[in-house]
Amino acid sequence: MFNMSGQPAMSVPLAWNKAGLPLGMMFAAKLGQEGLLFRLAGQLEQVRPWKDRRPPVSA
């Protein structure tokens, strides 16, 4: 929906299920507010780092 409207949006892995698979949380902002999403992603990653998390199975 956001891609079709041109609104900036992001999905970030903020939780993991019992199998160790990431659960993405979707965030969207007003047109032209990409910076807001980048700042939010940076803050979220500081609190809940996901850079080194890998699912137990990958293709």
Phi, psi of 15 (to 5 degrees): -145, 160
Indicate whether 28 belongs to any domain.
Answer: yes
Q: Give the mean pLDDT of 37-56.
A: 90
Q: Please give the residue that has the higher pLDDT: either 53 or 10.
A: 10
Burial of 1 (0-12, 13-18, 19+ CB in 10 A): exposed
Q: Give the mean pLDDT of 1-26.
A: 90
Indicate whether 32 belongs to any domain.
Answer: yes
Confidence at residue 59, expressed as pLDDT on a 0 to 100 scale: 65
Indicate whether 44 belongs to any domain.
Answer: yes
| Reported pTM | 0.77
Query: Which residue segment(s) compose the domain that 32 sits in?
Result: 22-50
pLDDT tier, 56 (very low <50, low <70, confident <90, very high otherwise): confident
Indicate whether 55 belongs to any domain.
Answer: no
How many domains does the chain divide into? 1
